[in-house]
Structure 1
Amino acid sequence: MMAMCLLAACDRPAREGTAAGWAVTRDAVAGEDDGPGALTVVGDVTVGADGVVYATQPQESIIRSYDRQGRFLREVGREGEGPGEFDQLGELGWRADTLWVQDPGNRRISFFGPDLRYVRSVSFTSEEPITRDRPNIPGYALADGSVLGYWQAPLEQLVGRTVTDRLVRFTEAGEPASVLDSVELRNLFSVVPTPNGVTYGPQPYTDSPIMQVAHDGSFVVIVTREAAKSADRAAFGVRRVDLAGRVLINRQYPYTPVPLASRAADSTVNAMSSTLSSNGMGRASEASLRREVRKTLYIPSHLTPVSSMVLGRDGTIWLRRERTGEPTIGWTVLDSAGAKLADLRLPTSTMVHYADRSQIWAVEQDSLDVPTLVRYRVTPR
């Protein structure tokens, strides 16, 4: 096994102060063999208190589980609308010894016991003045038994405008209980005219806030990450809010903005244009299609400072930093009070789904885009 030095200074000086160096060792792989444990596209990953890892498989509408060594254990689910079935697998997590699973397609959260037997589900669609009459469905199971709503937003409402989204707690019957916080959604989707109408797609350089719920469901973390408009030092924000709406952390973290290289933006435009053209959505010429794509893309002058977030069961907050085109990407790790623990780097192709002070579970793909789950053992120095 090979240990990797993850301290940012191994590659280049840390830009936001000094933090501890951590090392990781790649020590387990799951889903790499053919057979029932082989993985297809992985949606989300969580780890149980006993170390068992669970991965959603949206293409198959199932959840696969593996032990600490990556050995396949079992699977649960199938496509459908009945108990224990899924239409559209989303995120998943734990409430004590009960696994909860998002299913936006069926507008519900399903709950499973430690043996992965179906227990119950929560299903509702709520349009209330507190949500500004927007349809909300169950999104996250919270520690007090309430449910955080998930706004089913029509894509046309998220193109070319800023929209305020309220984070609303609901009862299991779908009645609004309180507003925890709100976020300003912007630059989430693009729209390109096609011969048959329009095609929506995610904005590759979005700087809309990101939100995650703690593993025990007791608080929410929101990262504000608007792309800097100049080369001056800027800051991103981390806000932690409990279920009563009290702000537990509200801190700003200065950083030096990284310019978005024009060649990177051009490459993104070309890749999107090529995809649309290969799907039969091209315009009169490739040049005109590229112009259409460029017009609809949000291309800031500087990179978004945080590209994703992972919350650890131990209270750590893991922030994936700017996508610079390098083979590795920086991570900033905070403790439960928002203090910096470490600056580290991981391969850019490694998609982290779970992380804490002792381990990281991530999805890696081979040259044929076949995914595997990889565990890294974390050793703080």
Structure 2
Amino acid sequence: MKWLACFAVVVAAVPASAQRAVIETATAYRSAPRLQLVETARWCRDAEAPGCDFASISEAIATNEGGLLAANYRGPIRQFDRAGAFVREVSRKGAGPGEYRFVHSLQIRGQQLAWYDQALRRVTRFDVATGRPGESNAVNLPMALAGFYLVDGGDMVALEVPAATRAGDTVSAAFRVVTNAGASRVLATVRQSSHYLQGSPVPVAQPLFSPGIVADVGWNKDVAHSSASRYEVSVYPLSGSPWRLTVNIPARPVLSADRDSAIAEELRSSNVRTVAELAPEAQERIRRARTAYPQLESLRVLRDGTLWIRPTPARGATVARWDVFSRTGTRLGYAELPLSAAVKDGAERWILAVVLQADDAPSVVRYDIRR
């Protein structure tokens, strides 16, 4: 499919020290080209198949041979071949070399598998070809931590959001590379509201329908961040100019039925019957509830820097829209995935997504992308 020459996206020239602005109108958003997703493989279609008894799948990455490595954040880590068959369990639960207690940010370089373990506070490596543990290195992440990401097969990037004088104030947050020797260089600095007050280690509960931090760091240190209240994403490629995407579409309003449902959930989780019985902090969350949903729910930076962004679905939607942009800010199109789908790995021409099946059992699907 040819790129649309008449596509209404404005790229504004700004000084080199600033971000290049990529502005998309509502008309351009609605008329974006739809990408065709062709399912080429599915693992764990049958939850009873060997190796498929996952409660959930938090990590899924493609192997060099076209197979799959999948894990729950508490383990196990399992390998499957390209035909979908279970091959073996990788590593085991424990604190020894190559073992895990938690699995976060699973990544592979050649035959070297790596992940971050929050409990053991280390990056653990494992040679998939030989089945032997590799080098592990301790990483002490900073206290003001809002997110962490594994990059380059072993470095960690921490998103540090400092405390504010008042909860919800905007502060200067940093994506910082952290090594076993301590913090090193900053990849990007962003503006982000803080949920922490100075002098307190406990986050302040946010009003109902408040946005969370929507961010990701790709394997090659490409950074993407949004405060999520509006459709605005700041992108900092490791090489090349940073850019800021703004899509001018209306936010989804919070209806009275949405508010009632959220309040009912607060009551259930607190095991009380009335709002008056809730803790003062919970009552304040309800009193200050926002009138619109956050515009963004999630985003993913793929191996080559391709960016997948999921806006908040419209009311009654049966599929989720994902907007796809190149590493340099060119709109590639949009794709539709099941509402349950989470994009886990990929590049410009393919993705892996974890998708819940009819019985809520997780499967992993590989899609080729055609334009």
Above 0.5 in TM-score? yes
1:301 and 2:314 matched: no
Pairing partner for 1:331 from 293, 297, 322: 322
Choose from 3, 25, 28 the match for 2:38: 25
Structure 2 residue aligned with 1:259: 252
> How many angstroms does 1:331 deviate by?
1.0
Partner SS state of residue 241, structure 2: strand
Structure 1 residue 94 displacement after superposition: 2.7
Of the three residues 53, 59, 62, the one matched with 1:47 is: 62
The one-letter amino acid of 2:178's match is: F
1:288 and 2:279 aligned? no
Distance 1:118 1:303 in 2: 45
How far residue 23 of structure 1 moved from its aligned partner, in angstroms, is 1.6
Aligned partner (choices 29, 32, 35) of residue 16 of structure 1? 29
Tell me what 1:221 maps to.
223
Q: CA RMSD in A?
A: 3.6
Aligned to 2:73: 58
TM-aligned CA distance change 1:152 to 1:239, over 3 Å? closer
Residue segments in structure 2 that go unaligned for 5+ positions in a row: 1-25, 197-201
Q: Distance in 1 between matches of 2:146 and 2:254?
A: 39
Whether the aligned pair in 2 keeps the contact of 1:318 and 1:355 (CA below 8 Å) is no
Query: Do 2:159 and 2:174's aligned partners in 1 also have CA atoms closer than 8 Å?
Result: no
Secondary structure of 1:288's counterpart equals helix
TM-score by length of 1: 0.74
Match of 2:233 in 1: 237
What amino acid maps onto 1:351 in structure 2?
A
1:124 counterpart letter in structure 2: V
Which residue number in structure 1 is paired with residue 5 of structure 2? none
Q: Aligned to 1:315, which of 269, 290, 305?
A: 305
Distance (whole Å) between structure 2 residues aligned to residue 255 and residue 137 of structure 1: 27
* Residues 375, 99 of structure 1: alpha-carbon distance in 2 compared, 3 angstrom cutoff: same
SS at match of 2:175: strand
1:119 Cα deviation (Å)? 0.3
- Equivalent of 1:174 in 165, 181, 184: 181
What is the distance in 1 between the residues matched to 2:261 and 2:225? 27
CA distance in structure 1 between the aligned counterparts of 2:62 and 2:33, rounded to whole angstroms: 25
Deviation at 1:335, TM superposition (A): 1.0
SS of 2:173's equivalent in the other structure is strand
Residue 19 of structure 2 aligns with which residue? none
Aligned residues: 334
Mean Cα displacement is larger for which, 139-148 or 85-94?
Answer: 139-148
For the Cα contact (< 8 Å) 1:126–1:174, is it kept in 2?
no
| Equivalent of residue 157 in structure 2, options 148, 151, 162 | 148
Q: TM-score, structure 2 length as denominator?
A: 0.76
Cα distance in 2 for partners of 1:306, 1:137 equals 17
Change (3 A) 1:267 1:144: closer
Aligned pair in 2 of structure 1 residues 84, 321: CA closer, same or farther (>3 Å)?
same
Question: In the aligned structure 2, how far is the partner of 1:126 from the partner of 1:225?
Answer: 22
Question: Which one is further off, 294-303 or 335-344?
Answer: 294-303
Residue aligned with 1:315, SS = coil
3-state secondary structure, aligned to 1:252: strand
**What is the percentage of aligned positions where both structures have the same residue?**
20
| Cα distance in 1 for residues equivalent to 2:285 and 2:94 | 36
Matching residue of 1:86: 100
Could you tell me whether the CA contact under 8 Å between 1:26 and 1:375 is conserved in 2?
Answer: yes
> Which amino acid counterpart does residue 180 of structure 1 have in structure 2?
L
Is the CA contact 1:159–1:187 (under 8 Å) kept in the aligned structure 2?
yes
Partners of 2:102 and 2:118 within 8 A in 1: yes
**Matching of residue 107 in structure 1 with residue 126 in structure 2:** no
In 1, the alpha carbon distance for the partners of 2:166 and 2:77 equals 31
Task: Give how far 1:337 is off.
Answer: 0.9
Q: Which runs of 5+ in 1 are unaligned?
A: 1-12, 128-133, 190-197, 229-234
For 1:18, the aligned partner's letter is S
The answer as to whether partners of 1:78 and 1:85 remain within 8 angstroms in 2 is yes
Match of 2:138 in 1: 123
CA-CA distance at 1:135 after TM superposition: 6.8
